[in-house]
Amino acid sequence: MAAASVPRDVTSYSIGLAAPLTLFFLVFFVAPLVQLFVLSLHNDAAGAVWGIGQYVHFLTDPFSLGVLGSTLLLGAEVTALCLVLGFPIAWLYHRVGSRAQTLIILIVLLPLLTSVVVRTFAWIVILGRQGIINSTLLSIGAIDTPIRLLYTQAGVVLALAQVQMPLMTLPLITALGRIDMNLEDASCSLGAGSWRTFWKIVLPLSLPGVIAGCTLTYAAAITAFITQSLIGGGQMLFMPMYLYQQASTLQNWPFASAISIIFLLAVLAVVTVFGTLGRLSRGYGGA
């Protein structure tokens, strides 16, 4: 009598199956990062003197620290705006019919189907002195002369928020979809108003999606070289452009490498904070 077949343990597959991905990761991510770090340990542009002078230069230079601070602040502003605008869209998605849901998903995903360069140039047209906003305000008599929208912090934040909006909205749609609608009905039946139900039920249970969306949006916003450069112009300097200037224009590769390492560590610190908040929010999400 043949022995009954035993289902194979899903964890019994050879770890060698991960070898191609591991090799790809080592060659195209770890190795360049190590080379970048080694290059940053040179005190001169020629790479002849070893030391940590580039790091000391950056960390003691008020201008460099200001660029780093403005870049991290830009990411926080874009993330906050995306959260404020994206949460109502995700909430509305689960309270409309299937046709309206299809339309919302199309609107959310449409920016991802368009080149970021095209979207950025569209914002240049919108925010320009002869753009749609200034033309509308002039036509209704709200302003006498065109206001400056392009090459401003507000313009960069607005354009980046539109570009990165799908990264915030999609995790929120997923998180809100996991919330049992009966909980909101039960809260309302017990006498809680709409805002109290939102603060006590909807928002805590959607925190995993909020944290995931904030992490993706923040990381993408502070590294968006094209949008920062075109909308901000030469009036504002952020870390990606600062890095580009040091590497391509000034050919100061050791300092550019040190900037890259410091910027990477700063981003990792922020992502770690988001990850910690995400782990803490799992207790709410699983409640």
**Tens digit of pLDDT for each residue in 211-261?**
999 999 999 999 988 888 888 877 788 999 999 999 988 888 999 999 999
Using pLDDT thresholds of 50, 70 and 90, give the confidence band for residue 34. very high
Taking residues 73-89, report their average pLDDT. Answer: 94
Q: 284, 178, 163: which is closest to 216 by C-alpha?
A: 163
Beta bridge partners of residue 42, listed in sequence order: 50
CB 200 within 8 A of CB 287: no
| pLDDT at res. 282 | 65
Distance CA 251, CA 96 (A): 55
Quick one: tokens of 159? 């354009």
Question: At 121, is the pLDDT very low, low, confident or very high (cuts 50, 70, 90)?
Answer: confident
Asked if pLDDT for residue 71 goes beyond 90, the answer is: yes
Distance in Å from the first CA to the final CA of the chain: 49
Sign of CA dihedral 145, 150, 152, 157: positive
Tell whether the model's pLDDT for residue 189 goes beyond 60: yes
Higher-pLDDT residue of 14 and 121 is 121
- Band of the pLDDT at 160, cuts 50, 70, 90? very high
pLDDT score, position 8 = 62
The rounded distance, in Å, linking the Cα atoms of 31 and 22 is 12
- Cα separation values, 104 from 101, 155, 242, 250, 270, Å: 5, 25, 37, 46, 30
Two structure tokens written together for 146: 């065109």
pLDDT: is 284 or 15 the higher one? 15
Mean pLDDT for all residues in the chain: 86
Q: What is the pLDDT at residue 230?
A: 87
pLDDT band at residue 287 using 50, 70 and 90 as cut-offs: very low
Highest mean pLDDT among 50-59, 178-187, 195-204: 50-59
Please name the residue that has the structure tokens 């960069």.
156
Q: Region 178-185: what's the mean pLDDT?
A: 82
The one-letter amino acid code at 24 reads F
Give the pLDDT of residue 1.
47
Instruction: pLDDT band for 83, please (50, 70, 90 cuts).
Output: very high
How many C-beta atoms lie closer than 10 Å to residue 182's C-beta? Answer: 9
Which contiguous run of DSSP H or E holds residue 84?
A: helix 62-93
- Beta bridge partner(s), residue 50: 42
Q: What is the largest CA-CA distance in the chain?
A: 94
Cβ atoms of 148 and 205 within 8 Å: the answer is no
